[in-house]
Amino acid sequence: MKKGFTLIELLVVITLIGILAVAVLSAINPIEQINKARDAGKRADASQLISALDRYFASNLKFPWNNYVNYATSTDLAFSGYARSVGVGVCTSVGNAVLDALDENSDASGCVPEVVAGVNHYGYLIETQELKSQFAKRNYFKVWPTLPTADKLFVVKKLGDPSVSVCFMPQSKATRDTFDDTDPTSGADITKLKQLTWVGVAEAAIATDIDPWPSAVTPDWTDITAAAFVCLPEE
């Protein structure tokens, strides 16, 4: 007599394997892991951009935006814009009035060099080798038909504050949930997320300030004016 599994036994085994697979995927949550990796990448790039701006200021006693025709020359200048904006110092460098007025110089591949007398010019941070030219090809510097807010970096400097912050909207749930973190001992709000105060709308908006996110308010992650941001350097 031949021995083997019955149909019922096979169905039971398949069902158990399916349940275990669902449990493992739920525990691992691959989408959340991908979002964590993206947030980690943006955090690292934001830190790299801040370091480049600090080094540029140390060498030139001014920030890249002080070189552009659309901005005042005072070193104590409030500045804000998304990463590919003129003034940040990655995409545009020669202070051309026409190109500056476009507030960007990039396409779907990243920053596009300005050609002056046959010479390619990127931003001041790249020209001074504070950043490698490959940095200008990251997503933050690309012009897409609809570049998601979550794929942007925002550079903000307050008036009267010598430090520069680089902010991004987190994608991972673990990071987003920190908007309502409290110290278990003191009960004090220890949120790491920040609120940007916007003037204007959509991508043309200007972030004018950085404040701790009010922990009693739930961010709206679909609205740039009502979302919370990770801002480096963190306090």
Instruction: Quote the pLDDT of residue 41.
Output: 94
Q: For residue 163, is it within any domain?
A: yes
> Residue 214 has which token pair?
């009010």
Instruction: Quote the pLDDT of residue 100.
Output: 47
Which residues, including other chains, have CB under 8 Å from residue 94's CB and lie 6 or more apart? 114, 116, 121
Q: For residue 227, is it within any domain?
A: yes
Instruction: Quote the pLDDT of residue 103.
Output: 47
Q: For residue 24, is it within any domain?
A: no
Instruction: Quote the pLDDT of residue 131.
Output: 93
CA 47 from centre of chain: 10
In terms of residue numbers, what domain contains 120?
31-232
Instruction: Quote the pLDDT of residue 203.
Output: 53
- Alpha helix stretches (DSSP H) within 61-135: 97-102, 124-127
Q: For residue 1, is it within any domain?
A: no
Q: For residue 107, is it within any domain?
A: yes
Q: For residue 25, is it within any domain?
A: no
Instruction: Quote the pLDDT of residue 211.
Output: 86
Instruction: Quote the pLDDT of residue 68.
Output: 73
* pTM score above 0.85: no
- Alpha helix stretches (DSSP H) within 5-108: 7-28, 30-60, 97-102
> Residue 11 has which token pair?
């169905």
Instruction: Quote the pLDDT of residue 99.
Output: 47
Q: Note down pLDDT in tens along the chain; length 235 residues.
A: 556 667 777 788 888 888 787 767 666 688 888 999 999 999 999 999 999 999 999 999 888 888 875 665 666 777 888 888 878 888 876 555 544 444 457 778 888 877 777 877 788 899 899 999 889 889 888 876 667 778 889 998 888 888 899 999 999 998 888 766 666 677 666 677 888 887 665 555 566 778 888 777 888 888 888 888 999 997 6
Q: Name the domain count of the chain.
A: 1
Q: For residue 104, is it within any domain?
A: yes
Q: For residue 89, is it within any domain?
A: yes
